Amino acid sequence: MQSGETLKKLLTNLLLAFVLISVGFSLGRHSMVSQTMNSKMPAASNGGMVSSERLVKIFYMHATFRCMTCNGIENRARQLVEREFAEPWKSGKILWEEINFQKNTALATKFDVTASSIVVAVMQGNEIMEFRRLDEVWPLLEKPAEFDVYVVDAVKKALEKAAGENK
């Protein structure tokens, strides 16, 4: 009988925690301060230098509150990009930028972001030419090999598009 009551209390507490977290996210999402943003992007994380050459920019879009899974996705993806694309990373052909989508609502709207995610964009100067939101990073985090292939493939395609336009 004791274990049945313990299980009931555990389930009740889990459901309560889920409801509280859901309400918190909902309130956070609805209380965002609107920001206006030009169609141009803010200065890149490459020291503010803006080039007319096309390059790839990876945006890690996150909420103000960042859970362990969100941080895990960011860390895994960033380390992967630094390792697999070392040369373009070092030369500035690939940039990484963290964006709080609850504060930068214009960019969140442009990318249609409502939760932490990775967006791979082809940039020319500060203008986004095209982008791909990598929604599958969440379910693939538990499948590291598939996660890596997914992210590497998206970055490779973006680099190819950027290089094709630079010729």
Domain extent listing, the chain: 1-31, 54-166
Note whether 63 and 113 are within 8 A (CB).
no
Question: pLDDT band at 99, cuts 50/70/90?
Answer: very high
Q: State yes or no: pLDDT of 1 exceeds 70.
A: no
Least trusted range by pLDDT, from 51-55, 69-73, 98-102, 131-135: 51-55
Q: State yes or no: pLDDT of 33 exceeds 50.
A: no
Q: How large a percentage of the chain has pLDDT more than 70? A: 75
pLDDT of res. 26:
44
Residue 97 in 3-state DSSP?
A: strand
Question: In whole angstroms, what is the distance from residue 96 CA to residue 82 CA?
Answer: 10
pLDDT of res. 46:
44
First to last CA, the chain: 74
Whether pTM > 0.75 for this model: the answer is no
Model pLDDT for residues 3-13, shown as the tens digit of each residue? 778 878 777 77
pLDDT of res. 31:
33
Region for residue 67 given its phi and psi (left: phi exceeds 0; alpha: psi -120 to 50; beta: otherwise): beta
CATH number 3.80.30.20 is the correct assignment for the domain at 54-166: no
